[in-house]
């Protein structure tokens, strides 16, 4: 497969961006060709000169930090909705990317931005072209919303109602056109069903863990981030923003200042004013370290060093960070919002609190698991076991299999277009397809999938012609010869057959009795000729190149008219050429 994964920006800390980037990496690992299609922004900061990209439409490069090939397309930051980026002229740029790189799968991520909307338009347009006979590439379309309910606890009326409107209009259309709707949890599956997604389209894709643990070899994490050597680390991982609720984590840490054996690590980029406030408060707490963003290669070391993971988030589609800690054998203490209550089973592989403000229970749980390491050890084993099924290699294998099942039997794209070549018109009738491009006439009407490509510059003339079937003629000739040979071999039997045929024929055509058996022997041949004439198809014989020709059935006569308009000299007799050119 050749896959394009579409996301509005890149990041080393944000969950949705990480899933998109890791998808690309894993598709490549499994032998597919894959690209990330994204904006000029990384964590809201411009990393590719916008003017340079805008002049070209898109730029392809290998990103050494992400370890994947990336298309950066024309884009800008939106004023509304907040925290979103928009692609510019994306249908045209996507068409170019798909055709030049022969992509057959597109996977869009997230909501409230125009990437999935424009991709849906492109896919619908491409399907209509294919159904109309155009020799263009048909693509499989997958969408992954990372859906979060528009909650009045997180969004004010202004933003919440816009989200509801987008979900009810754009998201419904996207899901209707998508071949697959990827969801992170069964809860999200239920929400997508309510919004109109068909159950047969829904594919469970819980994040995708992409970690390699090397036993802490390579770096001394504690020394690098000045974390006490002998303390048990309580780690919080994710962008430090209001939704992640890091201030409540600080409240938990403050209530555990009496435990010198515990130390809190908050890892993630500090976002805006909220991030600054968290940094100011953390500075007064001796048992808290802020590391800033953790590079991918250092994340396994943080997890290995951690005793517990704490997540007091107010909103989560799934919680990729929690799956990563669980995969590393670290139990999770979570607020239980969104998909958290699905991946964390209370008392088995972690603890689910009574919401994002349940500081008291969070403190009590940390004390309990610290004082009773055997209980924590049992949770660690179950956490690892639970997360094993959510690794990115396993999820991509399953998704690739489902996509292959859908595409099995679909015809491969017929033609590769030359630079600057465009389809002028196309037709699909009676199982055949014909297209005229700015440079070629493409005829696909023969059984067995044979496609004839005729360069317009090589067409010499077009004649009226019948397309005759030699099969009927051969069958009739064989039957006639067989009849005559049988007559010679067995006179008595064939005389009887002759009399019976003539007797039957006299009832239909009086006077048939005078027909000789030799003449009767040519009856099958005559029948075959009659069938040929009745079954023959009128059309056009296109003469081109060095003694080459192609038959074009009459139902595609409009193609002849288009060709006549594109070539400098008439190809048909004058009157007919003028008539077809007007069609």
Instruction: Give the confidence band of 219 by pLDDT, cuts at 50, 70, 90.
Output: low
* Between 178 and 471, residue with greater pLDDT: 178
- CATH 3.30.70.360 fits domain 2-204: no
Helix (H, G, I), strand (E, B) or coil at 479: helix
**SS3 label, residue 258:** coil
| CATH architecture of residue range(s) 221-390 | 3-Layer(aba) Sandwich (3.40)
Answer whether residue 417 shows pLDDT above 80. no
List, as one string, the DSSP characters of 201-229. GEEE----B-----TTTT--HHHHTT--T
* Cα gap 497→499, rounded to integer Å: 5
pLDDT tens digits along 30-55 = 999 999 999 999 999 999 888 889 88
pLDDT at 432: 80
pLDDT for 533: 53
Q: Which residues pair with 72 in a beta bridge?
A: 38, 59
Tens digits of residue pLDDT in 127-157: 998 888 888 878 999 999 998 888 777 788 9
pLDDT of residue 572: 74
Mean pLDDT of the chain: 84
Q: Per-residue confidence at 473, pLDDT binned at 50, 70, 90?
A: low
Measure the CA–CA gap between 107 and 58, rounded to whole angstroms. 18
Confidence label for 388 from pLDDT (cuts 50, 70 and 90): confident
Eight-state DSSP code of residue 270: B
Task: Name the helix (H) or strand (E) containing 129.
Answer: helix 114-131
Residue 317 near residue 296 (C-beta atoms within 8 A): no
Class of the CATH-defined domain 423-468+536-581: mainly beta
Is there a common fold for 2-204 and 221-390? yes
CA 122 to chain centre: 12
Enumerate residues 6+ apart whose C-beta is below 8 A from 202. Answer: 180, 181, 183, 189, 192, 193
Alpha-carbon gap, residue 306 to 122, rounded angstroms: 46
Give the bridge partners for 351, in sequence order: 333
**3-class SS at 353?**
coil
Burial of 92 per CB tally in 10 Å (0-12, 13-18, 19+): middle
DSSP at 170: I
pLDDT score for 413: 47
Cα 425 from Cα 416, distance rounded (Å): 16
Q: Using one digit for the tens of pLDDT, what is the confidence trace for 262-292?
A: 999 999 999 889 999 999 999 999 999 999 9
Rg (CA), the chain: 35
> Rounded to whole angstroms, how far apart are CA atoms 369 and 374?
8
Of the candidates 321, 338, 69, the residue with the CA atom closest to the CA atom of residue 207: 321
Task: Give pLDDT, residue 486.
Answer: 60
- Predicted confidence at residue 216, as pLDDT, reads 46
Summarize the confidence of residues 335-355 as an average pLDDT. 90
pLDDT at residue 506 above 90? Answer: no
* Domain range list for the chain: 2-204, 221-390, 423-468+536-581, 470-534
Greater confidence (268 vs 475) lies with 268
Residues 331, 308 contacting (CB under 8 angstroms): yes
Judge contact between 188 and 339, C-beta under 8 A: yes
Per-residue pLDDT, 355: 93
């Amino acid at each position: 497969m050749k896959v394009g994964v579409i996301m509005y920006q890149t990041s080393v800390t944000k969950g949705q961006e990480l899933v998109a980037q890791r998808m690309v990496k894993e598709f490549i690992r499994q032998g597919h060709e894959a690209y990330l299609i994204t904006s000029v922004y990384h964590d809201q900061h411009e990393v590719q000169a916008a003017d340079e990209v805008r002049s070209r439409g898109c730029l392809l490069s290998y990103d050494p930090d992400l370890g994947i090939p990336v298309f950066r397309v024309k884009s800008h930051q939106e004023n509304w909705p907040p925290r979103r980026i928009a692609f510019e002229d994306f249908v045209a740029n996507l068409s170019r990317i798909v055709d030049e790189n022969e992509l057959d799968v597109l996977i869009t991520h997230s909501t409230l931005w125009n990437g999935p909307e424009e991709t849906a338009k492109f896919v619908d347009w491409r399907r209509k072209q294919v159904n109309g006979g155009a020799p263009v590439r048909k693509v499989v379309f997958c969408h992954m919303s990372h859906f979060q309910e528009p909650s009045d606890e997180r969004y004010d009326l202004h933003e919440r109602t816009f989200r509801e409107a987008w979900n009810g209009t754009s998201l419904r259309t996207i899901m209707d056109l998508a071949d697959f709707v990827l969801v992170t949890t069964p809860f999200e599956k239920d929400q997508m069903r309510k919004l109109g997604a068909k159950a047969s389209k829904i594919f469970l894709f819980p994040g995708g863990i992409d970690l390699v643990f090397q036993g802490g070899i390579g770096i001394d994490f504690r020394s690098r981030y000045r974390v006490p050597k002998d303390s048990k680390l309580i780690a919080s991982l994710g962008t430090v923003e209001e939704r992640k609720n890091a201030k409540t984590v600080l409240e938990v840490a403050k209530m555990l200042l009496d435990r010198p054996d515990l130390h809190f690590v908050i890892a993630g980029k500090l976002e805006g004013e909220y991030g600054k406030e968290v940094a100011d408060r953390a500075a007064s707490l001796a048992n808290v370290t802020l590391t800033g963003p953790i590079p991918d290669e250092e994340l396994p070391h943080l997890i290995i060093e951690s005793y517990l993971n704490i997540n007091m988030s107010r909103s989560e589609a799934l919680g990729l960070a929690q799956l990563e800690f669980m995969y590393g054998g670290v139990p999770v203490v979570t607020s239980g919002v969104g998909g958290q209550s699905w991946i964390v089973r209370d008392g088995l592989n972690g603890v689910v609190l009574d919401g994002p403000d349940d500081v008291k229970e969070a403190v009590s749980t940390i004390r309990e698991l610290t004082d009773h390491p055997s209980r924590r050890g049992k949770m660690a084993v179950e956490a690892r076991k639970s997360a094993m099924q959510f690794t990115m290699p396993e999820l991509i294998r399953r998704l690739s299999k489902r996509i292959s099942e859908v595409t099995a039997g679909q015809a491969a794209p017929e033609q590769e277009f030359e630079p600057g070549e465009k389809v002028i018109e196309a037709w699909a009738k009676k199982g055949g397809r014909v297209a005229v491009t700015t440079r070629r006439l493409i005829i696909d009407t023969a059984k067995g999938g044979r496609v004839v490509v005729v360069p317009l510059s090589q067409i010499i003339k077009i004649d009226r012609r019948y397309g005759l079937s030699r099969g009927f003629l051969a069958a009739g000739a064989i039957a006639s010869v067989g009849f005559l040979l049988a007559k010679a071999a067995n006179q008595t039997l064939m005389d009887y057959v002759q009399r019976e045929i003539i007797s039957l024929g006299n009832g239909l055509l009086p006077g048939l009795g005078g027909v000789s058996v030799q003449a009767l022997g040519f009856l099958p041949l005559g029948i075959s000729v009659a069938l040929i004439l009745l079954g023959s198809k009128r059309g056009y014989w296109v003469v081109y190149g060095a003694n080459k020709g192609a038959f074009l059935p009459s139902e595609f006569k409009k193609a002849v008219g288009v060709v006549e308009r594109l070539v400098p000299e008439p190809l048909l007799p004058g009157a007919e050429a003028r008539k077809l050119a007007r069609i």
